[in-house]
Amino acid sequence: MEAKLKAVTQLWKIEEIQCEKIQRELQSVYHRYTVLTTQLKQLSELRQTVGQNVNKENQLCSSILINANQAGMMLQTNFDHYEQEKDILNAEYRAIKNRLLYTKVRAKGLEKLVHQWRTIQKTAKIKRELFQVEDIINARLKSKV
């Protein structure tokens, strides 16, 4: 029983360490997600600014229109790429969160098992001590008779 308890305790510690690693990974993905969201907002504002600047020009020449169109296409391409990356990070975040929940459940189960086995050990030890005390009392009674 002692070997089993030691093994389960080690497994429990390993699961706790794994939970901490997954939590750090989750924080990293969340940080990247927030940075990407900020960049998307800035890119959206820049895209609106480019469109407004072209409309404010009184004299429109073909080179300005071509440059504005190319800039708009490049911004749209970047915007689409960032949107896809944001979706990928969101999916990765959900997957890591599910893995974290699974690991926490396993760690909690191992913790309960360790506590149950320790309780069983304590109970067995108390019973053995009681039997020893009874044997001592019975031996003294027999010797007096």
Which CATH architecture fits 2-111?
Orthogonal Bundle (1.10)
Residues of the chain with pLDDT > 90: what percent? 61
Q: Give the CA angle between residues 106, 112, 117 to the nearest 5°.
A: 125
pLDDT at 67: 80
pLDDT band at 85 (very low <50, low <70, confident <90, very high): very high
Average pLDDT (39-49) is: 87
How does residue 55 score in pLDDT terms, banded at 50, 70 and 90?
A: low
Q: According to the model, what pLDDT value does residue 58 have?
A: 55
In the numeric block, the tokens 């360790």 are attached to 114
Are 86 and 36 in contact by the 8 Å Cβ rule? The answer is yes
Q: Per-residue pLDDT for 106 more than 90?
A: yes
Are the beta carbons of 47 and 75 closer than 8 angstroms? yes
Sign of the alpha-carbon torsion through 101, 106, 107, 112: positive
Find, among 14, 21, 66, 47, the residue nearest to 29 by Cα: 21
